[in-house]
Amino acid sequence: MSRSLSSFRALIATAASTIAIAVIAIGGAVPAESATTYSAPLRTAVKSLPVAAESNSGYDRDRYFGQWKDLNKDCQNTRQEVLLQETRITARYTSTKRCNVKSGKWITSWDNRTHTSATTVQIDHTVPVHEAWGSGAKKWTQAKRVAFYNDITDKRTLNAQTSALNSAKGARGPEQWLPPKNRCAYVTSWVAVKKRWGLTVDATEKAALTRLAAACPNVTVTVVRQ
């Protein structure tokens, strides 16, 4: 190969490399994780939550969020999936079809109680569905609302909790209700879910979260945005 031909090919390779770099720069290409992941200290995450008045008009849980789904078609709906995620021992089922969990071992984070019967726990939405509706879900697509309702990918969204406590919480946020135990973990999970789903907070909620976060360890909140 002649020296001139070799030099020409090297020049072409260099130009191609330069063009590729320019395309990446112009297109603003970034790793997918950087585009979809949010990570910040708790107090910073609270500060970044957008404030908006909560509007719950038109709320209809069944119509706009539906019920527990069996998303992977294994006969176990979202409630059963959460029970299976959180049991500390091998679960037992109500039948040989293994669709519904009968027993296991659940330590509910709001009160540190141990449960062995699935009938004594409810699956709680950390951010209640009513709260989500008024904080932005009203404007979502139906598919996104159903995804929120059945979110088992981030374990902070749904948890097994003592039935009586879950009923006591209802649709209230941390400005109105806090669990008797592990309050900082609860507040951190609340903020994580709000950030994950791009939900707003009202002024009273923001003030309460700011005050509560200031008294908690400033742990890092990392979520994959939806």
Segment 108-146, tens digit of pLDDT: 999 999 999 999 999 999 999 999 999 999 999 999 999
Say what the pLDDT of residue 21 is.
36
Mean pLDDT of 69-84: 97
Segment 132-188, tens digit of pLDDT: 999 999 999 999 999 999 999 999 999 999 999 999 999 999 999 999 999 999 999
Q: Kindly report the pTM of this predicted structure.
A: 0.84
Above 50 in pLDDT, residue 198?
yes
Distance CA 138, CA 196 (A): 16
Say what the pLDDT of residue 83 is.
98
Decide which of 195 and 18 is more confident.
195
Say what the pLDDT of residue 35 is.
60
Taking a C-beta distance cutoff of 8 angstroms, is the pair 204, 216 a contact? no
Say what the pLDDT of residue 23 is.
34
Say what the pLDDT of residue 151 is.
98
20, amino acid identity = A
Above 80 in pLDDT, residue 203?
yes
Above 90 in pLDDT, residue 76?
yes
Provide the 8-state DSSP code for 220: E
Instruction: Dihedral sign for Cα 95, 97, 100, 105, please.
Output: positive
Say what the pLDDT of residue 160 is.
98
Above 90 in pLDDT, residue 4?
no
Residue 144 makes CB contacts below 8 A (sequence gap 6+) with 137, 226
